[in-house]
Structure 1
Amino acid sequence: MKPDSRIRVMEIIARMNVGGPAMQVLGLSEGMNSEEFDHRLYTGHVDDGEGDHLRLRDASVRVHRVAGLGRSVSPADDVRALFRLVGAMRRFRPHIVHTRTAKAGALGRTAARLSGVGAARIHVFHGHLLHGYFSPAKLRLYISVERVLASMSDRLVTVGAQVRDELLAAGIGRPEQYVVIPPGVRLGPVPGRDAARADLGLPRDAPVVAYVGRLTRIKRPDRFLDVARAVLHRVPSCRFIVCGDGELRQELERGLEPVRGSFDLLGWRRDVETVYAAADVVLLTADNEGTPLTLVEAGMAATPVVSTRVGSVAEVVRDGHTGLLAAPDAAELAEHVVRLLSDAGLSRRMGEAARDWTMRAFGVERLVSDTEHLYRSLRGASRHRPTLESSNI
C-alpha cells in the first residue's frame, strides 16, 4: 500500500502507566504493519509513581500528549481535552478511533462524534468497573453512561468472554457489537532461578511467593497480607516479594510490620521477568480483574499461580492444570499456596503447562493479527452504516 492509502488509526488511552492496557498499546504500536496502517497514539500524563517512564522510555512509539487526558476527573480539564481531541481528529482524519480506559473511552468517542470525520469507533474493555469500585448510585450512573457510549460505538472489544458476558448482562451494548480479543504479551528473557534470586537478594532455597501489580483497593493487598500470614503459620521459612506500588503501600507496610523479615517490597521493576523467575508461586488476590497480564507473564516464565476466580481469570489460568483458583477467601488461597510450595512435582508440572498454554494463546503476534483484521473490517464504517465482518476473531 502507498503511504497515503494507509488505514489511519487514532488510538487514545488516558495514561500509559504500568498496567495491562499500556502493555497492549505498546505491543500493537510496535508490531503493526506500518505500510498498511498509520497508527498514532494519543495519551495524557501520569504521576511519577505510576510508571509512565518505564513504559515509554525505551519504546519506539511516537506519543502525542493530550493535556487533561490523565487519570483524575476534572470538568475543566476534561472539556479542554475533549476539544483538543476534536482538533487532532480533524487534522489527522482517522478512519478508526480506538479508545481504551473509561475516561479516554468517553472523551474519545464523544470527540469522534463531534469532529464529524466519520471514523469508526472501537472501545476496549480491559475489564470493567461493575464490581468493587462504586456505590450503588454511582454504579447506576456508570452503567447509564456506558450504555450511551456503547450506542456510539461500532465495536466493543473485551479481553475475555466473561468480561463480555458481564457487560451484556448490565445492558451495555448489543451482542453483535462485541469482539473478544485476548491480550498479547511479550516477556523479556527469563533468567535462571538462582540468578534471579541472587539479583533480588533472596535465599537460594527458601519458598518464595510473589505479588506483581498495583497496590490499590481493588487488588486487595490486604488479602495478600492475610494469605501471607496464614502461609507463614505453616511454612515459616517462606519469603514474600511485592513488585509494584500504589496508594496502599504505606497501609501494607504498617500491616506487615510483625512479619517484616519475611517481606521484600521491590517497588516497580522493569525486569519483571526476574521476579517471576525467582518465585515458586505468583499470587493474585483481587476482587475484580479483566484478563490479568500478570498471570499471563507468570505462565510464560513457567511459574504456577494461585488466584481469585474473578473476571476472565479462568480464561488465563486452567484451574488444576496451569494453576489453582479460589474464591476471594484468604484461607482457601493460602491452602492452595501451601499445596504448591509443598509439592515440587506438581508445581513444576503446572509451570510447564502454563508456559506451553500462555505462549500459544497470548503471544503479542496474535494480538496484532487480530487487531489488524478488526481494523480492516471497519475501514470506512460508521455507527449508521456498519461494514463489519465476523465478530468471532
Structure 2
Amino acid sequence: MCKLKKQIFSYMERLLARSTDKIICISEAERMSALKHKIADNEKLEVILNGIDFTAIENAIPAKRKDLNIPENAFVVGMIGRISEQKAPDIFIKAAKKIQEEIPNSYFIIIGDGEKKQEIEEYAQKNNINLFISGWTDNPYSYLKIFDIAMLLSRWEGFGLAIVEYMAAKKNFVATKTDAIPTIVRNGKDGILVNVDAPTEAANAVIFLYKNKDIAENMKKEAWEYAHKRYDIQRVAEQHLKLFKSITYIKSL
C-alpha cells in the first residue's frame, strides 16, 4: 500500500475511532499497529481473533483432479488469495518453478482472481509450469481439499485467514514472517515460516515437507488441534456477544 493511502486510512480511522465504544482488532499485530498509528487508546482496543467454520471445510466435496487436468498422482501446491501485490502471486509462481524443477510431477493451483492474473499466467506459460487458476469461486474449499501443500506468501497481512483454513483442512503450509502471521503460526510446529519475497526459501520449505513425510504429518495434526481451539467461529461469536453485552451494560448504568 502506498504511503499516501496509508496516511488517508490512518486519518479516517482516527476520526471514526472517536465515536466508537470499542474497536475490535482481529490480531495482536493489528492492536499494536493501531497503537503505533495512534488510532485509539489501548483501553478502547479489543482483540478477538478471526475465526472460521470448521464444518464447512470438513463437509466440502473435493474437486475432481481430472476436471482440472491434474493427474491423480500429482503433487499439488496451492494458495488461496487475491492475485494482487499484497498476496505475492509473483513469488508463489517463482517458487513453483523451483519446486517443479525438483519435483517434476508438481502442479499448482491459485484459488482467486485479480489484476496480476495475466502476468502470472504468462510467466507460467513461458516456464512450462503446470498452473490452474480458479478465478472467483463460491467453493474455495473444494479446491483446497486437493492441495498437498498450501502457501501464503503475503507481503503484508492483517490476519491471514487462509492459514487457519489450511490448518482446518489438515494441510501442510508455508507462509511468510510478516505482520500477524507469526502470531498465528508456531513456526516448525504447525507450519513453516519464510521471509517475504524469498521464492527460493519458500520452495525449499515445500520440498522439505515433501521429502519428510513423518514431520509433515505431525505438523498437520498439531496445526488442526491448535486451530480448532483458537479459531472456531463459535468461539468468535461468543466473544463478540460477550463484548456487546459488556458495552450495553456499562451504558445502562
User: For residues 126-165 of structure 1, what are the structure 2 equivalents within 5 Å?
Assistant: 133-135=1-3, 137-165=4-32
**C-alpha RMSD of the superposition:** 2.3
Give the aligned partner of residue 266 of structure 1.
134
> Which string of whole-angstrom CA distances, capped at 9 and with x for unpartnered residues, describes residues 338-379 of structure 1?
111221222211111111111121111101100111111112
User: Higher Cα Rg: structure 1 or 2?
Assistant: 1
Distance 1:299 1:198, change over 3 A: farther
Shift of 1:224: 1.0
Once the two structures are superposed, the pairs formed by residues 326-341 of structure 1 within 5 Å of their partners are: 326-328=194-196, 329-341=198-210
Letter in 2 for 1:142: F
Could you tell me which residue of structure 1 aligns to residue 105 of structure 2? Answer: 237
Give the number of aligned pairs: 251
1:360 to 207, 215, 229: 229
State the SS of the aligned residue for 1:141.
helix
Structure with larger RCO (C-alpha < 8 A, sep 6+): 2
Structure 1 residue 168 displacement after superposition: 0.8
Give the AA of the match of 2:184. V
Change (3 A) 1:287 1:270: same
Question: Do residues 180 (structure 1) and 27 (structure 2) align?
Answer: no
Q: Is the 8 A contact 1:193 1:278 kept in 2?
A: no
1:314 to 182, 196, 206: 182
Residue 100 of structure 2 contacts residue 129 of structure 2 at CA under 8 Å; is this kept in 1? no
Shift of the alpha carbon at 1:199?
5.7
1:302/1:374 CA distance change after superposition, 3 Å: same
Q: Residues of 2 paired with 1:191 and 1:386: CA distance? A: 43
Per-residue deviation, residues 152-181 of structure 1 (Å, max 9, x unmatched): 221111111112112211222111111110
Paired residues of 1:194 and 1:204 also in contact (CA < 8 A): no
Give unmatched runs, 5+ long, in structure 1: 1-132, 388-393
1:300 aligns to what?
168
Match of 1:286 among 148, 154, 159: 154
The change in CA–CA distance for 1:200 and 1:316 in structure 2 (over 3 A counts) is farther
Moved more, 322-331 or 263-272: 263-272
Whether the 8 Å contact between 2:82 and 2:114 is mirrored in structure 1 is yes
Task: Letter of the 2:223 partner, please give it.
Answer: A
Instruction: State the alpha-carbon separation in 1 of the partners of residues 48 and 206 from structure 2.
Output: 30
SS at 2:145 equivalent: helix
Q: Distance in 2 between matches of 1:280 and 1:198?
A: 16
CA distance in 1, matches of 2:190, 2:181: 12
SS in 2 for 1:157: strand
Per the alignment, do residues 143 and 192 of structure 1 end up closer, same or farther by CA in structure 2, a change over 3 Å counting? closer
Post-superposition offset of 1:216: 1.4
2:247 to 346, 368, 378: 378
C-alpha distance in structure 2 between counterparts of 1:375 and 1:248, whole Å: 40
Structure 2: runs of 5 or more not aligned: none
Question: How far apart in 1 are the matches of 2:246 and 2:240?
Answer: 10
**What are the superposed Cα offsets for residues 217-246 of structure 1, whole Å, 9 maximum, x if unpaired?**
211111111111122222222111111111
Cα distance in 2 between the residues matched to 1:294 and 1:273? 11
Q: Alpha-carbon deviations, 1:120-175, whole Å to 9, x = none?
A: xxxxxxxxxxxxx123x443333233222222221111111112112211222111
Please say if residues 62 and 143 of structure 2, whose CA atoms lie closer than 8 Å, have aligned partners that are also in contact: no
Q: CA offsets, 1:31-59, max 9 Å, x none?
A: xxxxxxxxxxxxxxxxxxxxxxxxxxxxx
TM-score (norm 2): 0.90
Q: Which residue of 2 aligns with 1:53?
A: none
1:291-342 per-position Cα deviation (integer Å, ceiling 9, x unaligned): 2221111111100110011121123222111100111022211111111122
Task: State the 1:286 CA deviation.
Answer: 0.9
Amino acid in structure 2 at the alignment position of 1:205: N
Identity %: 25
